[in-house]
Amino acid sequence: MVNMISELFIIILIGHINTDSGTTPNIKQIVIGRCYEYITLVNPSYRYKCEEIWHEFEEAVVRTTPCSVRMKDYARMFHAASQTPPCDKLLFWSKTQALMQRNLAVIGSLWTLEDTLVGFMFKDLIWCGQQERDRGFDFLSCPEWSTCVSHPVYSLWKQASQNFAVEACGNITVLLNGSIENAFNRNSMFGSVELDSLNPRMVTHVHIKVVPNLKGPFVESCSKGSIVRLVRILQTRGFHWSCTDSDHSRRPHWLPLL
């Protein structure tokens, strides 16, 4: 058991190594290691076949050219890693990653996409296959997202985001950055995928929380800017909603008390 935990920590450390433009080095060891970490340490109530998940992922990526990996190509992998997130605990966010990372310890009761098995396994990784099919991963160079219609990384995250939103139920929270223009962007993953995948018959209430950076500026709010457009979309689709602006002078009140 001690050896197993030691190997997991080594794999986790490897996963933080920066890559250039090719597939993340040691990606197989990282992904399988994170999977075992998830089912043994992070969320031991789940049981998954980590090697099977990796196999289906690898097949989806390397059996086609780098710019031709569609969302549906990951179907078998997502089936092997299927997961139903808890009701009343889902947190959707857009352009607030730095704020999220600073407060991970105090939002532990809420689930983001990164708390799912797939999100946990593939966070911050890069991958693509060779130009010639069935030649394995390309560790030297992967195409930019903007140059691909069906980028292998984008397609996986788009499918993961869609699945996460489709399964949302009860009360959900949407966290937006009030320090930037277009805090709600229709072209973002939340605006273009997750929002349209939410089901008003399953989601009881949508609570929008607008949080600025620690030192501002204070650009958008519940009644100003792009967030007004988000509210209109929610109203049109029949969602019950509320919106809260963070109190700039005190601890952000969307954070639960320790």
Q: Which residues are catalytic?
A: 87, 169
Count of alpha carbons within 13 Å of 244, Cβ hemisphere only?
Answer: 13
Count of alpha carbons within 13 Å of 107, Cβ hemisphere only?
Answer: 23
Beta bridge partners of 39: none
Distance set, CA 175 to CA 104, 110, 224 (Å): 14, 12, 15
Kindly state the tokens that stand for 126. 């890069």
Beta bridge partners of 224: 221
Residue length, the chain?
258
Cα dihedral 129→130→136→138 (10° resolution): -80
